[in-house]
Structure 1
């Protein structure tokens, strides 16, 4: 059967002497695997379409449940700036690997496609990469069914008082319920407000948010605990990103 889809390359790997296999997050058909014959050759017509982060139109033939084979394609947005900058490439690689690993082929729909495209566009536009990435993580948690409860105490529903993050229970705990989770993470009101904003905000509406370094440190720890507790993914791209954040290249 012939398909024509719009998608973003979230994984690209060599296959044989001259071919590549790409995983593409599409706007209509979830994740699909497509072989691009001759993509590694110097004068390949579709070599650029096989590069990570590329958004394009993919026309391919697929029989049964196997890989598709590309017979036509056009680039919509190459996102080449992300590949040319090591720091930006690290953040973008984390975003696409997260999508690739967190969802089965038929679980990834148009919402995730739109959020990923907005994430890559935000990184390319020079917005704070940590804020862009944590907001994208929140969108992934939402799509996976693990979005934290940030509007009220996850245990009793209280909306006033002092709160901490219970990453284990999946939301904020008020001071009256602290005993429900001894491992809770103490958080500032700035952190709580930011995560409430993240729950409400679509990636496509993200402007330039100014966040204090102390709050960003809290945000990194809190989102890491939520992601590890509820998704539990070991991602090579995150390990590399962690290394870059500890020892940034000048």
Structure 2
């Protein structure tokens, strides 16, 4: 049967001497595995369609678990995400996280649009640490593991100050902190950002500057949350950890645009 879909390449692996197998994230059929014959050859007609992060229109035949590419057209190559070290490091993490967090054929329209927005934001020079924190919350939510942030997960009390417990499921009020002695005490700014990020559509993310201390706490919280509830051992994260040190990039960082674009997370420094 012939299928035609728009998709983002979230995995690309060699297959045989001249072929590749790509995994597409599609809004209609979830993840789809497709063989792209001759993709490794220098003059391949469809080699560019098999490159990681590519957004394209794909037509393929599928009779079993894998499809075979019939034709295709690139909509956006996202070439910037394959250059240097920073772009590939963050984009590869987003792609692998997506690939590992959802099942094959699982409905993924929402996550498809969020991942595309993530790649657009990274390619456009927005702060990759903030982009990834927002996207991690989208992945957790899509997998059914969104943290409770507005009230105590144990008793429902809306008053704080809260501490964050990945084990308990989110916020713990002062009366319930004993349920997790290791619960994290967070800056109020971090609570605010997490609540905004939880509700924010990545397609509406503007330019926002966040203090380094808040970035470190956001990363720590999301790492604990994903490790507790998804328990994924990602190769791309291990590489990213060598590139970052809990919020601080190793070496010189690419200069980011000055804040100015309005975002649901606010403007200026947070």
Structure 2-normalised TM-score?
Answer: 0.90
Q: Deviations over 1:179-212 (max 9, x none)?
A: 1111211111111111101111011111112211
Structure 2 equivalent of residue 11 of structure 1: 11
Structure 2 equivalent of residue 161 of structure 1: 160
Q: Deviations over 1:200-231 (max 9, x none)?
A: 10111111122111111111111100010000
Structure 2 equivalent of residue 40 of structure 1: 40
Report how many aligned residue pairs link the two structures.
Answer: 249
Structure 1 equivalent of residue 120 of structure 2: 121
Q: Deviations over 1:84-137 (max 9, x none)?
A: 121111000000001111111122411110000000000011111000001000
Q: Does 1:248 align with 2:260?
A: no
CA shift, 1:82, in A, is: 0.6
Q: Give the Cα separation in 2 of the matches to 1:170 and 1:139.
A: 16
**Larger helix percent:** 1
Query: Please, what is the CA RMSD of the aligned residues?
Result: 1.0
Is the contact made by 2:137 and 2:146 (CA closer than 8 Å) also made in structure 1?
yes
Aligned runs of 1:57-136 on 2, under 5 Å?
A: 57-63=57-63, 65-136=64-135
Is the contact made by 1:35 and 1:70 (CA closer than 8 Å) also made in structure 2?
yes
In structure 1, the residue corresponding to 2:12 is in which secondary structure?
A: strand
Q: Give the Cα separation in 1 of the matches to 2:135 and 2:107.
A: 14
Structure 2 equivalent of residue 147 of structure 1: 146
Structure 1 equivalent of residue 234 of structure 2: 235
CA shift, 1:248, in A, is: 2.1
Consecutive unaligned residues in structure 2, runs of 5 or more: 253-270
In structure 1, the residue corresponding to 2:6 is in which secondary structure?
A: strand
Q: Give the Cα separation in 2 of the matches to 1:154 and 1:102.
A: 24
Q: Deviations over 1:28-63 (max 9, x none)?
A: 111000000000111111000000000001100011
Q: Does 1:199 align with 2:183?
A: no
Consecutive unaligned residues in structure 1, runs of 5 or more: none
Structure 2 equivalent of residue 218 of structure 1: 217
Q: Give the Cα separation in 2 of the matches to 1:129 and 1:85.
A: 14
Q: Give the Cα separation in 2 of the matches to 1:118 and 1:35.
A: 26
Q: Give the Cα separation in 2 of the matches to 1:197 and 1:102.
A: 22
CA shift, 1:157, in A, is: 1.3
Q: Does 1:209 align with 2:176?
A: no
Q: Give the Cα separation in 2 of the matches to 1:225 and 1:105.
A: 25
Give 4+ residue runs of structure 1 displaced > 3 Å after superposition: none
Q: Deviations over 1:138-192 (max 9, x none)?
A: 0000000100011111111112221110111111111121111112111111111
Q: Give the Cα separation in 2 of the matches to 1:110 and 1:42.
A: 34
Q: Give the Cα separation in 2 of the matches to 1:9 and 1:189.
A: 38
